[in-house]
Amino acid sequence: MDNNELELEPFKPEIQLEDFQKLDFRVCQVVACEEVVKSRNFLKLTVNDGQGERVIMSTIRAYYKPEELIGKKIVVLVNLAPHTFCNIESQGMLIAVDNPDEDDCKVLFAHEDCPVGFRVS
């Protein structure tokens, strides 16, 4: 389907540069990934953020098998306040492209040459 044929959701309200500068996106490498037994939607990813490891919970289970993600470099919002999903604390949010018209989701992978822990701007 051509992008011109898709019905895109409207843009969110405009923000100031200072608002954007508060967001801390980093290259992280997936070191472990598993399905969450209590959920049909969640994968639990353990990532190296360059300073240590953190857990990211993401509703991408329908689109990825855990073994497809291990070793991959992804983009993570690392300064999001922790949230608990399925009794597991998530310490950030991976960035993905969601296409509800085609029931599809694509994780935003970082190039393999990007160093772990480096900021994405």
- Whether 8 is in a domain gets the answer no
Structural domain for 105, as ranges = 23-120
What's the structural domain count of the chain? 1
Q: Name the one residue in this structure whose structure tokens are 């855990």.
A: 66
Cβ distance 110 to 22 under 8 Å? no
Following DSSP, what letter does each residue of the chain receive, concatenated? Answer: --GGGS-PPPPPPP--HHHHHT--EEEEEEEEEEE-TT-SS-EEEEEE-SSSEEEEEES-TTT--HHHHTT-EEEEETTSPPEEETTEEE-SEE-EEEEGGGTEEEE-BPPTTSPTTPEE-
Given this model, what pLDDT does residue 5 score?
A: 67
Q: What is the CATH number of the domain that holds 73?
A: 2.40.50.140
Q: In the prediction, which pLDDT does 19 show?
A: 95
* 49-59 pLDDT tens trace: 999 999 999 99
pLDDT in tens, 7-61: 788 999 999 999 999 999 999 999 999 999 989 999 999 999 999 999 999 999 9
Does residue 35 sit within a domain? yes
Contact 47, 29 (CB under 8 A): yes
The predicted pLDDT at position 4 comes to 58
What percentage of the chain carries pLDDT values higher than 90? 85
Cα angle 107, 87, 79 (rounded to 5 degrees) comes to 50
On whether residue 15 sits in a domain, the answer given is no
Residue 80 falls inside a structural domain: yes
